[in-house]
């Protein structure tokens, strides 16, 4: 997401949309909320996401200080993703979204 919503906006919801607005970002944060994960592990846990877009959304979340990327200099490569404290403070909201979904969404 290179394009961002207007900056001159008062409402925090607009700024938040710039952070979690990507198609998979809430899901990525949700998956990382229980445990640190490696790249391929994370991809397998999110059915339907492609490598390319996973990389991109992870980089954007990192730029927004929501995740931490830890690179281990090994062969084969090992990269672990985890939530920052900022993102951890957002997890309760994702949990309430999850609960709302359980309660109100059937299909």
Nearer to DNA, 6 or 102 (CB): 6
- Are 64 and 19 within 8 A, CB to CB? yes
Fill in the per-residue mask, 27 to 56: x = in contact with a second copy (CB under 8 A), - = not in contact.
Answer: x--x----------------xx--------
State the number of CA atoms in the 13 A half-sphere of 17 facing the CB: 11
> For a second copy, which residue of 26, 36, 53, 82 counts as binding (CB under 8 A)?
26
CA-CA distance, 18 to 6, in Å (whole number)?
A: 10
**20 in helix, strand or coil?**
helix
Which residues here bind DNA, judged by CB under 7 A? 1-3, 22-24, 38-41, 48-53, 55-59, 69, 75-80
């Amino acid at each position: 997401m290179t394009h961002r919503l207007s900056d001159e906006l008062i409402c925090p919801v607009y700024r938040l949309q710039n952070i979690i607005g990507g198609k998979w970002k809430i899901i990525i944060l949700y998956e990382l909320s229980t445990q640190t994960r490696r790249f391929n592990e994370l991809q397998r846990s999110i059915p339907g996401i492609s490598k390319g877009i996973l990389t991109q959304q992870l980089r954007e979340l990192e730029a927004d200080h929501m995740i931490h990327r830890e690179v281990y200099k090994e062969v084969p490569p090992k990269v672990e993703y985890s939530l920052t404290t900022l993102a951890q403070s957002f997890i309760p909201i994702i949990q309430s979204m999850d609960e709302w979904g359980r309660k109100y969404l059937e299909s």
